[in-house]
Amino acid sequence: MSIFRAYDIRGIYGKDLTEEVMKKIGMAVGTYQPGNFTVGRDFREHSDQLEEAFISGLVTTGSNVHLVGTCPASLCVFSNWKLKNNVAAYITASHLPAEWNGVKFFHQDGVGFFEDENKKLEQIHKTGPFRKGAGTVTEVGGMEEEYISFIQERIKPKKLKVVVDFGNGAACLLVPKILKRLTTVEARYLYDWPDPTFPNRDPEPKPESLTALSKKVVEENADLGVAFDADGDRALFVDEKGEVMMAEQSAVLFIRDLMKTRRGPVVANIECSSLIDEEAQKYGQNVFRIPVGHTFLVQQTQAYNAILGVEKSGHICVPKFYWFDDAIINSIYLIEIVSNLGRPVSEIIREMPVEFFERVEIDSTDEAKFKIVDAVMQEAAEKYEKITAIDGVRIDFPDSWALIRASNTSPKLRLTVEAKTERRLHELKKEIMALISDAARKQD
């Protein structure tokens, strides 16, 4: 599979991704989008040499580089926005295991490069010709302080106790400094040192990998738990009882706070729970469904002038700060929201409508997965009344829904099912799995 993916460029270091390949990626992006670049990196063992190779290629196109060094992804994108540079390039493989690395590109407004843009880079990378010029490299200081000040000026939580699980990822380089400035917040930390091998938990925060955080929140009698992914661009939250919150449950808390002072629609990807729709309806607001993917989230939150954008995976846009998503500032904002609730988070969650939810990953191949989804779509269109096909096939019923889509990052199909009762969940899951199996057999 190509290292040029739907939302980024990623591969196994030394196999798919070498210094020579990375240098040509720099030459390709400098040819495709010449200008001023903000470049940052995570602390994977090979990130510094890949960054050096990338920059060496980029400057040969005449583009100028502003280095922000080792940092979480949020700081790199924020710095690009403040510096008014054209493109942010962040060297990372996000939540993938230690042997992986890559690069994510973001436009000035924080929208990531789309798949067609990454494919254009792939074509230039393969064939050239490359732009010629003599760019410059400048180390930029002061952005971390500017970022912390930006947050301090806008978010002022009341007294609260929080536990933060960094998973040895890049957020540990910055978040403790922010929380230290917020003197009303008492913070406890888990895995708060950088380690590119991620020895303590999966670098992707998932309910099953957050047992230590859940336990620590209860032991510390904390009000909230926060868990970041490896590059610090996503976060999940844990209530005071140690229960991991669905992204949509935390989104409801954001919506309620935002609606106190403004009105506007909400953007949610096709995989998000109906909780979002039910909450937005209370305020007479629409929910616009979008394809899965961080890049779509940021772009469509802007396009719809939404007050909030949310992804099932934990990416969230809060435009009261800026258009692009930022897990760090969103986490600090949720700390403020929880500090103002006046009662435990679990009570709020318990009052939300009950939705039974399950996600199933089905092994496939990159060649077959899209054909299977197309076959499911044809059969579903004949069998069911309400079909949405903006990303895979979503089938809606009055009491439930199911989504079948091909993964953008792995050779898998993903089935997501939600229902008002557990019995209906199992019935629908069985029904749709049979539909998928039938479609897969027809591909053999």
CATH number, domain with residue 249: 3.40.120.10
Same domain, 323 and 375: no
Whether 367 has a pLDDT exceeding 90, the answer reads no
Across residues 297-307, what is the average pLDDT? 97
- Asked if residue 238 is part of any domain, the answer here is yes
- Asked if residue 2 is part of any domain, the answer here is no
Same domain, 160 and 137: no
Whether 23 has a pLDDT exceeding 90, the answer reads yes
Across residues 222-246, what is the average pLDDT? 97
Same domain, 362 and 339: no
> What pLDDT is stored for residue 264 in this prediction?
98
Per-residue pLDDT tens digits for 107-165 = 999 999 999 999 999 999 999 999 999 999 999 999 999 999 999 999 999 999 999 99
Same domain, 188 and 330: yes
Across residues 98-109, what is the average pLDDT? 96
Q: Which of 111, 141, 171 is the last residue of a domain?
A: 141
Same domain, 327 and 193: yes
Overall size of the chain counted in residues? 444
Dig out the tokens for 213 from the structure: 């955080």
Q: What b/e readout covers 236-258, taking b as 16+ CB neighbours within 10 angstroms? A: bbbbbebbbbbbbbbbbbbbebb
Same domain, 339 and 373: no
- Asked if residue 304 is part of any domain, the answer here is yes
Q: What is the CATH number of the domain that holds 406?
A: 3.30.310.50
Give the span between the Cα atoms of 117 and 393, in whole angstroms. 25
Whether 172 has a pLDDT exceeding 80, the answer reads yes
Same domain, 193 and 272: yes
Same domain, 340 and 306: yes
What is the number of domains present in the chain?
Answer: 3
> What pLDDT is stored for residue 388 in this prediction?
95
- Asked if residue 193 is part of any domain, the answer here is yes
> What pLDDT is stored for residue 209 in this prediction?
95
Across residues 72-101, what is the average pLDDT? 96
Range of the domain at 100: 9-141
Closest CA to 43 of 199, 164, 169, 165: 169
Same domain, 290 and 159: yes
Confidence of residue 226 (pLDDT cuts 50, 70, 90): very high
Across residues 197-223, what is the average pLDDT? 96
Same domain, 165 and 129: no
Confidence of residue 354 (pLDDT cuts 50, 70, 90): confident
Across residues 267-279, what is the average pLDDT? 96
Per-residue pLDDT tens digits for 38-64 = 999 999 999 999 999 999 999 999 999
Same domain, 185 and 310: yes
Across residues 183-205, what is the average pLDDT? 96
> What pLDDT is stored for residue 410 in this prediction?
79
Same domain, 157 and 305: yes
- Asked if residue 286 is part of any domain, the answer here is yes
Across residues 379-408, what is the average pLDDT? 94
> What pLDDT is stored for residue 441 in this prediction?
87
Among 71-85, 330-344, 367-381, the least confident range: 367-381
Q: Which of 300, 317, 351 is the last residue of a domain?
A: 351
Average pLDDT over the chain, rounded to whole? 96
- The amino acid sitting at 238 is V
Give every strand in the sheet of 393-397, ordered side by side.
Answer: 356-363, 412-419, 400-406, 393-397, 386-388
Q: Are 118 and 104 in contact (CB under 8 A)?
A: no
- Asked if residue 308 is part of any domain, the answer here is yes
> What pLDDT is stored for residue 90 in this prediction?
98
Across residues 277-298, what is the average pLDDT? 96
- Asked if residue 147 is part of any domain, the answer here is no
> What pLDDT is stored for residue 9 in this prediction?
96
Across residues 169-196, what is the average pLDDT? 98
- Asked if residue 397 is part of any domain, the answer here is yes
Across residues 205-215, what is the average pLDDT? 96
> What pLDDT is stored for residue 411 in this prediction?
87
> What pLDDT is stored for residue 407 in this prediction?
86
Whether 3 has a pLDDT exceeding 80, the answer reads yes
Residues 6+ apart with CB under 8 A from 119: 4
> What pLDDT is stored for residue 56 in this prediction?
98
Q: Which of 311, 331, 351 is the last residue of a domain?
A: 351
Whether 408 has a pLDDT exceeding 80, the answer reads no
